[in-house]
Chain A
Amino acid sequence: MRDTKSWSARLLVVDDNKVNRLLLTRSLELQGHSIASAENGRIALEMLRREPFDLLLLDMEMPEMDGFQVLEQLAADRQLRDLPVIVTSSLEGIDNIVRCIELGAEDYLTKPVNPVLLKARIGASLEKKHLRDQQKELMRRFATPEVAQDLQTSGFTLGGKLVEASVMFSDIRGFTSLAESQPPEETIELLNTYYALMFDAISGHGGVVTLMMGDGLMSVFGAPVPLPDHEACAVRAAQEMIELIGMFNVERKAAGKPEISISIGIASGTVVAGYTGTNERATYTCIGDTVNLAARLETHTRVAQRDILIDPATRDAIGPQFTVEPLGPVPFKGKALAVEVFAVDPGTRG
């Protein structure tokens, strides 16, 4: 754990009273922090939006914009709502203190502030912020930004909801035999580059990768955040994926490595989206017929010998700017009726 005693943080002191401002600044500087100060809430918010701070020490009774208004604005600001705030005030009345805490203040110190108490509260606040930052960083790494955002705004609950979305499955063709024919570190390197390219194309078109298995990826367009035009977004992402792999192959060829090719299946419709698992270990996922169909379409690319296959719902939604080739009905396992399958020309951009 980080030693908070020696941790120098950047703090903002807001107080309309000069004596209070000087005194707090001095106490905090003596504790090794670097301090900026503002004389009212409006100036403080401007500074917070301009430069990063680790913690805010906020007076309540101020002209122009008081502490309550600052707390309200911080809570409504996506960038700033996690900033820890310690209220330093000599406000009268417990209801005022309660109101500060309800508005999101982390702690409340009565003025004149006891320096020892101040140090302890700041240490605790900074430690909490540090943990929260680490958590956010972990979320960024292991969840998509959309899922991370969704988790932050709506919180984590197991359970799903019905959403309209396009689901995409993609795979490297013949990956297993390729992996067996080369050293493992080369396979990992290949996968890393492949993932980087695919994630770029998918998230660039509003998609979210919900599952990575070996060389296989499952992505969703339209959940957790609704995406108008999710069918066309998915198809455009697929085309870009094929194009990026083409560019990647130029490099691989130059390095004397075998070229790779990918296959993609897309289906659109209603899916159940949400967090599944346990409270300790859960993942954002989509399930339903649409998901199964997308997986079957991806598998079918081998038979059809096309790179991108889509279902009728996707075809109907994407409009005539894409060149689409009907391949006729295909009986899929688990489907009572044969499904009309369409191939998308990877080259024609919609």
Chain B
Amino acid sequence: MTTPTIDRATFDALRETTGADFVAELVDTFLEEAPAMLGELRSAFAAGDADRFRRAAHSLKSNGNTFGALALGAQARELELGGIAKAAEDGGKRLEALAQEYARVAAALGEMRHA
């Protein structure tokens, strides 16, 4: 069984505890901020800046998990733990996979925020 893009239970619980309007706002904030985090991850990777790389991966992990984007969270976690060295092993393919997963997450969250 593949992990769904967004874990419905996590997302619903978030909505229940903080309110639908707030979650819509929070999704908007995430969609605004995440591209910069992905950009930061790429530029840190290119520059070989381990701290920045780890921090950007950490942020994406943390936010992914908040919305129930568990696959995104897991991939970001791998990058956080493995660091630049691990990411460089396959020439940065993991970074691209993460970006693709983010695109799916963004689309799904964009739909769900209206629901």
A23 touches B26 (CB 8 A): yes
Main secondary structure of the interface of B (DSSP, over half): helix
- A19-B66, A63-B55, A90-B62 in contact; A115/B25 too (CB < 8 A)? no
Count contacts on B: residues with CB < 8 A to the other chain.
23
Q: How many residue pairs at the A-B interface have CB separations less than 8 Å?
A: 55
Q: Which residues of B contact A62 (CB under 8 A)?
A: 55
**What does the 1/0 interface line of A276-311 toward B look like (CB < 8 Å)?**
000000000000000000000000000000000000
Choose from B10, B33, B80 the contact partner of A19 (Cβ within 8 Å). B33
A111 to B64, CA, bound (A): 11
Q: Please measure, in the bound complex, the distance between the C-alpha atom of A61 and the C-alpha atom of B55, giving whole angstroms.
A: 7
Report if A19-B17 is in contact (Cβ < 8 Å); known contacts: A26-B22, A61-B58, A90-B58: no
- Chain A residues bordering chain B, tally (CB within 8 A): 19
Q: What is the minimal beta-carbon distance from A192 to any residue of chain B, in angstroms?
A: 54
CB contacts (< 8 Å) of B75 on chain A: these are: none
- Distance A26 CA – B25 CA, assembled complex (angstroms): 11
Are A17's CB and B65's CB within 8 A? Answer: no
Contact assessment for B17 and A115 in the assembled complex, using a CB-CB cutoff below 8 Å: yes
Q: Does B59 make an interface contact (CB < 8 A)?
A: yes
- B residues within 8 A CB of A16? 55, 59
Contact of B26 among A22, A61, A63, A92 (CB under 8 A): A22
| Shortest Cβ gap from A344 to chain B (Å) | 66
Q: Once the chains bind, are B25 and A22 in contact (CB under 8 Å)?
A: yes
CA distance A115 to B16 in the complex (A): 11
User: Does the CB pair B66–A26 fall under 8 Å?
Assistant: no
Is A30 close to B, CB under 8 A? yes
